[in-house]
Amino acid sequence: ERRFQEANPLLQQISPDIENWVVSYQHLGQAVAGQQKEYLQMFYLVLQVCYYLMVGQVKSVKAVLKQLQQSIQTITAPDWPVDADLSRSREADQFIWMPREHLCVLVYLVTVMHSMQAGFMEKAERYTDKAIVQISKLKTHTDSPILSTFHVMLVEHMIQCRLVMGNKTKAVSELGILTKLLSSNSLLLSRHRAQLHTLLGLYAMSMNCMEAAESQLNAALRTSKERELWTFANLNLAIVYLRQSRNSDFMALLDRISPDQLPSSSHCMKAAAYYIHGLQAFFSSQYGESKRYLRETLKMANAEDLNRLTSCSLVLLGHIFLSLGNA
């Protein structure tokens, strides 16, 4: 439901209960209580990591993500009991919410998501490759729907990664893989249709095919049921209009992309909205206004280590100072 303001206090409230789990449930035996705590801790850390990523707080998530990565190493160690042994206790005492092999893929996925937002593209590529190898191994034994979802999400992130790095050949190849994955599963297609349109729009933008990009981004807006994706598509549509000098169309989008009225709760999206307004002011030769927006972008980007936005803002500021110097 994306009720982030309510979610965060609840997450903070439950943390002490998990920390004290072994003491509170020592009657089960220290080993069993310790194992239960580890699975509960992983569930809690996954929720925390997802919360921070969804609100675009890339720097804030680092410590929690590191804890999650340490937890997955603990439960995948050779001396850790297999899930079947843990599930022999009373059903009410069990909390194996996902097989540990699937948890391993999930940790790879959230690491990829974090790396993408932070601008670490090579790290995102490396963890995606590891995750897809793991998924391929698991699919030889079981055809779990959650693995198919993880696979689709990994490919979606990898396409964005290729486009950021300028590798359009691999991007279009992976768009083909994504289309194949979705076309073989009607449920996944219905849930990821808007993402596919958005990615096709981004690819068209990278190829300077602005009409195709506009068409795909509008299709994403028509089919999207997610506020964050809807905002992301609008921000990219605004860039399409700017690149085509369609100022009146850009102004018609203002209510959707204004940083102060942005429907998204994401820190990253809001920073990107400031950048796009700075870009629009630059193209209109309103250099003072552009600098004002870009300073906001830099302030927000530096606060949460949004490295790509920091780089883009500094480059654009350089162009502004160059233009002012030539004026």
Condensed to tens digits (0 to 9), the pLDDT of residues 65-82 reads 999 999 999 888 887 777
Half-sphere exposure of 302 (CA within 13 A, CB side): 8
Condensed to tens digits (0 to 9), the pLDDT of residues 107-146 reads 999 999 999 999 999 999 999 999 999 999 998 888 889 9
User: Would the pLDDT of 91 be above 60?
Assistant: no
Region 166-184 average pLDDT? 96
Question: Cα separation of 230 and 219, whole Å?
Answer: 11
Percent over 70 (pLDDT), the chain? 90
pLDDT recorded at residue 27: 57
Condensed to tens digits (0 to 9), the pLDDT of residues 37-56 reads 788 888 889 999 999 999 89
pLDDT recorded at residue 123: 95
| 8 A C-beta contact, residue 112 and residue 128 | yes
| 8 A C-beta contact, residue 280 and residue 289 | no
239 or 95, higher pLDDT: 239
| 8 A C-beta contact, residue 297 and residue 315 | no
User: Would the pLDDT of 84 be above 80?
Assistant: no
The residue behind tokens 């359009």 is 168
| 8 A C-beta contact, residue 41 and residue 18 | yes
Q: How confident is the model at residue 321 (pLDDT cuts 50, 70, 90)?
A: very high
The residue behind tokens 């500094």 is 314
Q: How confident is the model at residue 326 (pLDDT cuts 50, 70, 90)?
A: low
Percent over 90 (pLDDT), the chain? 70
User: Would the pLDDT of 28 be above 70?
Assistant: no
Segments in 20-56 forming alpha helices (H): 21-24, 30-54
Range scoring the smallest mean pLDDT among 4-8, 38-42, 150-154, 290-294: 4-8
pLDDT recorded at residue 178: 97
Considering the chain, what is the average pLDDT of its residues? 89
Which residues make Cβ contacts (< 8 Å) with residue 147, sequence separation at least 6?
A: 102, 105, 135, 138, 139
Residue spans of beta strands (DSSP E) within the chain: none
315 or 142, higher pLDDT: 315
- Residue 143's SS3 state is coil
pLDDT recorded at residue 65: 96
